[in-house]
Amino acid sequence: MLLVRDGDDKRTVLLKGFTIALAVAFNDLKDMAWAIYQLRKGEPQPPYLVSPYHGQWRGMYSAMGRYSAGFMTELGKCIAAAHKMGLLETAAFKAAVMRAATTAPGAAAAWGQLVIAFTVRDEKGLVDPVAHFLKQVRDNSFHYGHEDEFKMLARGYRGRFGAEVMPDRSNGKAYASLGVTQEATRFYFADAAMGAFMESKTKEHALSPSDFATFGKNVGVALRYIVEGLLEHLEAEAASSDAASSAGGGAV
């Protein structure tokens, strides 16, 4: 049903591609949630000491959160592109969103906030702090700061290592493990620089990891029902086209 057919109009071709993109986004968000769940099984226990294991775990945990935010911003950009194509206003897509709203209202609300964040120029109607945060960091959650001459990371680094030394002394030095393999190597100061930047942004919106987890899960549930609705629409459309071709004696 997702294969482009000779009789498909432009809108149908775009809708098929958008459906696949939304399904990929769902899988990505699910994968990140699973990775975070697995990572938590190895969370260091107090007393927290400066060590390669603790440093690597903390860096990976922070990275997983950043990747999740990155996937959601990429989904937001995908939504913005679909909005420009007019796909969000099609009867098929509206019906798919209505399915999500009927089945999982909280999930549909999160989806709606993501749409507003990436399709509305001002902030009218944008009330979810996570969606607001994603709008602000849409160009920073995945990137390394090259677009602003790396100032973003420099600010993060200065915020962590230019501050008073913390009790655990994790910012006392620019730590790194320089092994002979990739597995044995990690630049903890880089984790700290990116982490400090993201932390400064989350503090602006008074956000916690659970806020992101809840929002991401809700968006995932919304995607589950939206994609199902689109698949059913496209399947019915293909069946109708096949029936018409058979009745007319044409080739399928």
What percent of the residues of the chain are helix, what percent strand, and what percent coil, each to the nearest 5? 70, 0, 30
* Nearest residue to 69 (alpha-carbon basis) of 123, 130, 111: 130
Q: When comparing pLDDT for 14 and 132, which is higher?
A: 14
The DSSP line for 194-223 is HHHHHHHHHHHTT--HHHHHHHHHHHHHHH
Cis peptide before 129 (omega within 30 of 0): no
Lookup result for tokens 């655990």 = 168
Model pLDDT for residues 169-213, shown as the tens digit of each residue: 888 999 999 999 999 999 999 999 988 888 888 888 899 888 999
Cβ neighbours of residue 14 under 8 Å, at least 6 residues apart?
82, 85, 87
The span from the CA of 154 to the CA of 159, in Å, is: 8
pTM greater than 0.85:
yes
**CA distances for 129 relative to 51, 126, 141, angstroms:** 34, 8, 16
Check residue 124 and give its pLDDT.
84
Query: CA gyration radius for the chain?
Result: 22
Predicted pLDDT of residue 251: 42
Q: Is 186 helix (H, G, I), strand (E, B) or coil?
A: strand
Contact status, residue 91 vs residue 106, Cβ threshold 8 Å = no
Tokens encoding 210: 């659970």
Please give the pLDDT value at position 88.
Answer: 96
**Residue range 118-147: average pLDDT?**
81
pLDDT at 6: 85
